[in-house]
Amino acid sequence: MTKLKIAVIGCGSIAQHRHLLEYEANTNVEIAAVCDIVEERARKIGQLYGATLYTDYKELLENEDIDAVSVCLPNYLHAPVSIDALNAGCHVLCEKPMATSKEEAEDMIQTAEQNGKKLMIAHNQRFVPSHVKAKELIESGAIGKVYSFRTAFGHGGPEGWSAEGEDSWFFKKDQAFIGAMGDLGVHKADLLRYILNEEFVDVAGFVENNAKEDITVDDNAVCILRSQSGIVGTMAASWAYNPNEDNSTVIYGEKGMLRLEDDPEYSLVAQYTNGDVVNYQLGKIQSNDDGGQSDSKVIDHFVDSILNDTEPLITGEEGMKSLEVILGAIRSGETREISSLEKVTK
Ligand SMILES: NC(=O)c1ccc[n+]([C@@H]2O[C@H](COP(=O)([O-])OP(=O)(O)OC[C@H]3O[C@@H](n4cnc5c(N)ncnc54)[C@H](O)[C@@H]3O)[C@@H](O)[C@H]2O)c1
């Protein structure tokens, strides 16, 4: 079988820790080209993977015969670069948050449809073993009707992660559009939509910058969410959780609770109201603490969806619905009113 020719656009941290490693481990693909605006970075990565290097993604799309592209760029470039790649005939795996507005997300979806190409958003939390197991347990009725949840994703901030360090685009509103809520909160919005199998209809949010100085985006955000069936819960995102990362979720139901990534030893703990406790030791969640490394399954899933011509688990529509939750949180923070998502998600 001929291998899929892949290009990775943006050679920063997530490209180096996840996309490039996992493409290289996939025997059905060849990393044909890489692009980064920082020439030295593009050269280093190009040499490491034996790929042609570019500093201008438009030249890459013009010169190379590429089947699929990973967009690993600052948030403001997700939509324009994905759209150009789709129009150049490539399938696209785009990092999160999908775009900076609903309109951009809609344009991406429409362009994928027009060109008959896959568009997948890299919400890796859906593939984490404890999350997959929790979804199974909820669907099987193990905890009965779900009433509430709390979820948090926080760490000390992206300065130790981003290729740009303390001066990173992550802190600049014109390039990131949103801070911790878009970096981390959107993962949890997507996770909860997925494991609860429900859409959120109301969002109240405090999206604040109260920790880091000289940044133009939020670094601490807390939201209250209400789903279509009336499940209510909180979602927190932070770049000021020190010294340890918190990546936990607790789901409360009629017959018990599920604690996901909340226990140092067990990735999932099911505590039932009849006294039973089941501890699950499943695979590890990806964490900035270990450099984000480990098999996210995102890349293999994207490649399989192309080879088998199946719909990826996280389509553009799914990415857009998760984006709408954080857009609702921003609106609520600005207006000091609850944002209704019903009109925008249905
Ligand atoms: N799924 C996840 O768990 C996860 C984790 C971290 C980051 N991300 C996302 O991945 C994306 C990239 O984040 P990162 O952590 O790799 O950031 P980063 O700062 O480490 O890297 C960004 C790279 O993009 C390059 N770049 C900027 N403008 C460019 C342009 N016009 N053309 C080519 N290259 C350009 C920069 O030089 C840099 O190398 C972001 O959207 C982020 O939200 C996702």
Q: For position 173, which CATH number holds?
A: 3.30.360.10
pLDDT in tens, 27-46: 999 999 999 999 999 999 99
293 assigned to some structural domain:
no
Check which CATH number belongs to the domain holding 47 and give it.
3.40.50.720
Asked whether residue 67 falls in the same domain as residue 160, the answer is no
Q: Is 284 inside any structural domain? A: yes
Report the residue among 41, 55, 73 best suited for mutation to probe ligand 1: largest number of ligand atoms under 8 A from its CB: 73
How far is ligand 1, taken at its centre, from the CA of residue 157, in Å? 15
> Which of the four pLDDT bands, split at 50, 70 and 90, describes residue 346?
very low
177 and 139 within one domain: yes
Domain that holds residue 54: 4-124+299-314
- Are residues 169 and 80 part of one domain? no
Work out the pLDDT band at 342, boundaries 50, 70, 90.
confident
User: 284 with 217, same domain?
Assistant: yes
**pLDDT > 70: percent of the chain:** 96
pLDDT bin (cut points 50, 70, 90) of residue 89 is very high
* C-beta atoms surrounding 250 within 10 Å: 18
Peptide bond into 80 cis (omega under 30): no
Based on the domain organization, do 15 and 120 belong to the same domain?
yes
At residue 159, does pLDDT exceed 90? Answer: yes
**Ligand 1 mean position to 177 CA, how many Å?**
14
> Do 169 and 175 form a contact (C-beta atoms < 8 A)?
yes
Considering the domain architecture, whether residues 196 and 231 belong to the same structural domain is answered as yes
pLDDT of residue 43: 98
Q: Maximum Cα–Cα distance for the chain, whole Å?
A: 64
In a domain, 294, yes or no: no
**Are residue 241 and residue 130 in the same domain, yes or no?**
yes
Asked whether residue 346 is domain-assigned, the answer is no
User: CA dist 293 to 44, 227, 241, 289, Å?
Assistant: 19, 33, 20, 9
Write out pLDDT tens, residues 190-230: 999 999 999 999 999 999 999 999 999 999 999 999 999 99
- Regarding whether 335 and 306 lie in a shared domain, the answer is no
What is the CA(179)–ligand 1 centre distance, in A? Answer: 14
Residue 283 binned pLDDT confidence (cut-offs 50, 70, 90):
confident
Is residue 292 scored above 60 in pLDDT? no
Residues framing ligand 1 (Cβ under 6 A): 10-15, 35-38, 41, 57, 72-75, 77, 95-96, 122, 124, 161-164, 168-169, 183
Q: Which residues contact 285 (CB under 8 A, 6 or more apart)?
A: 125, 128, 130, 247, 261, 267
Instruction: Report yes or no on 15 lying in a domain.
Output: yes
- Residue to mutate, 14, 76, 161, 183, ligand 1, most ligand atoms under 8 Å from C-beta: 14
CA atoms within 13 A on the CB side of 334: 9
Number of domains in the chain: 2
Give every CB contact of residue 109 below 8 A, 6+ residues apart in sequence.
Answer: 119, 315, 316, 317, 320
pLDDT reported for residue 289: 59
Q: Per the domain annotation, does 13 fall within a domain? A: yes
Same domain, 139 and 12: no
Residues 146 and 102 reside in one and the same domain:
no
Q: Is residue 94 part of a domain?
A: yes
Position 162 in a domain: yes
Mean pLDDT of 98-124: 98
Q: What is the pTM of this model?
A: 0.97
Same-domain pairing of 107 and 223: no
Residue nearest (by alpha carbon) to ligand 1 atom 39: 12
What's CA 169's distance to the chain center, in Å?
Answer: 17
Question: Are 171 and 113 contained in the same domain?
Answer: no
